[in-house]
Structure 1
């Protein structure tokens, strides 16, 4: 173990000073023997120890024994730390390749990926498991997570066809045109990056070139939903899809999404911020007022409100949630499928062109 630790340290030291390079070859030979379960060159090990302990032997000979033991402990810690660091680098790299984030449990914390609202993973983190005394669970959960990531590598390389993941009763921002390709968004009405993506889509004219539809996916949290009224808005969107307004140039559910994502109230506050901070009763009143403004009669508004609270809509939302989690496998909101790929997180105007 000491030889392996010495090699790790000497790699870095030899990179900045030629003084240590004469030890590096011996350290590598010793390390190679250890990892192939052969005895190490004890002369090299003793040379390194003598070099480190010589000053102490001159001043405090009685401390040489304990210091030698301490060196062995430090060597073990260096090796374990290096192995764990390498594991974390590999895990982060694979996650970044597959999911566009180096941390599946909190995708927003990874600065290397696109900006997004993360879908929380309720599985305890490695550190949380250790703090609770669950050592087996800490390693088991971590290795299981890495195994899931490796098993998802083929999905990163597959050709993504939005048509294969369409929800029931899909509605389109513009009239459906069979000559155009289909693009599918996965959005949370309360996520600010979904707002930014919608604005990028309109700026790029993406919706003119694609049949654009969406899955509304309210992001769950440990005690409800990440954005308090996301489920409520999703219920209304699904109810409006089930009861489309005849003759509407743009479906009413898209009109409501456009208002939430692109418009402000009379105080200059984004309607998304207003909805996110409103009490459910106030949010409901807004959605009903907007529905009437976009052409629904009072009877139709009442019917949509009834359908929004129905088991039918609850089943649709549950099915869509399963579709997102078990088939699309994204960990970032928004995600959008187009051009044969699943794009995780906020997509720039340039990439939408």
Structure 2
């Protein structure tokens, strides 16, 4: 183990100073034998230890023995740290390729990926498992997560067609045109980056070039939902899809989404921020007022409210959640499927253009 650690250290030191390069040949020979479970047939290990311990032997001979043991322990730590670092680099790289984030359990924490609201992974992290004394679980969960990422590589390489993932009762921002391609967003009504994506879509005229639809996916958290009224808004959106307003140029569910994402109240506060911070009763009243403003009669508003709380809508939301998690496999909101790809996180104007 000492030879392996010495080789690792010498590789780094030789990169910055030529004086250490003459040791690399012996270090590699010794390391190669050790990793193939053969004894080291050189004096390299002893030479290195003698070189390191010689000054101590002159000043404090009694400390040579403990220092030698310490070097062996440090060697083990260097090797283990190097192995874990290499594993982490590989895991982060594969996650970045497959999911657009180097940290699948907290996608928003990875600065290398696009900005997004993370879909939290409820599996304990490696550190959390170790803190609880669950060493087997720590390694088991981590390796299982990496295995799942590798299994998703083919999906990342596939040609993505939004039509394969459309939800039931899909509605379109503009009248459906058979001549246009279809684009599918996965959004949370409360996510700021969904707001920014919607605004980018409008600025780029993307919605005029694609048949744009969406899946409303309220991001769950340990104590409910990341944005407390996301489920409520999603319920109303699905209820409006089930009860479309005849003759409406733009579906009412899209009118409400557009207001949440692009408009502000009289105080200049984004309606998304208002909804996110509102008491559920206040948010419900807003959704009903907007529905009436966009053309629903009082009876239709009451019907939508009833349907929003129904088992039918709960079933649709559950099916959409399964669609997002088991078929689309995204860990970032928003995600959007178009042009044969799944784009994770906030998509820029240039990429939408």
Normalising by the residue count of structure 1, what TM-score does the alignment of the two structures yield?
A: 0.99
Query: Hey, what does 1:191 align to over in structure 2?
Result: 191
Question: What is the match of residue 145 of structure 1?
Answer: 145
Once residues 220 and 13 of structure 1 are traced to their aligned partners in structure 2, the CA distance between those partners, rounded to angstroms, is: 48
Partner residue in 2 for 1:204: 204
Q: Please tell me whether residue 62 in structure 1 is matched to residue 62 in structure 2.
A: yes
Structure 2 matches for 1:186-335, cutoff 5 A? Answer: 186-335=186-335
The size of the alignment, in residue pairs, is: 353
Q: How big is each residue's C-alpha offset from its partner over 1:224-267, in whole Å with a ceiling of 9 and x where there is no partner?
A: 00000000000000000000001110000000000000000000
Q: State the Cα deviation string for residues 48-70 of structure 1 (Å, max 9, x = none).
A: 00110000000001110110010
The residue that corresponds to 1:112 in the other structure is 112
Q: Distance in 2 between matches of 1:12 and 1:135?
A: 31
Which residue does 1:50 correspond to in 2?
A: 50
Question: What CA distance in whole angstroms lies between the structure 2 residues aligned with 1:42 and 1:281?
Answer: 78
Q: By how many angstroms is 1:18 displaced? A: 1.3
Counterpart-to-counterpart distance in 2, 1:133 and 1:74: 23
Deviations 1:120-176 (A, max 9, x none): 000000000000010000000000000000000000100000000000000000000
Q: Secondary structure at the match of 2:337?
A: strand
Show the 5 A alignment for 1:62-141. Answer: 62-141=62-141
Quick one: distance in 2 between partners of 1:55 and 1:300? 89
Distance of 2:39 and 2:279 partners within structure 1: 70
Residue in 2 that maps onto 1:36: 36
User: Partners of 2:310 and 2:114 in 1: how far apart?
Assistant: 36
Superposed CA offset, 1:255-308 (max 9, x none): 000000000000010000000000000000000000000011111101100000
User: Helix, strand or coil: the match of 2:43?
Assistant: helix
| Greater Cα offset, 31-40 or 214-223 | 31-40
Corresponding residue number in structure 2 for 1:9: 9
Provide the rounded CA distance (Å) in 2 between the counterparts of 1:130 and 1:289. 51
SS at structure 2 position matched to 1:182: strand
Q: CA RMSD in A?
A: 0.5
2:158 is aligned to 158
1:39 Cα shift?
1.1
**Regions of 4+ moved over 3 Å:** none
The residue that corresponds to 2:167 in the other structure is 167
TM-score by length of 2: 0.99
Deviations 1:181-210 (A, max 9, x none): 000000000000000000000000000000
* Shift in Å, 1:41: 3.2
SS in 2 for 1:183: strand
* Cα offset, 1:42, TM superposition: 4.2
| Alignment gaps of 5+ in structure 1 | none
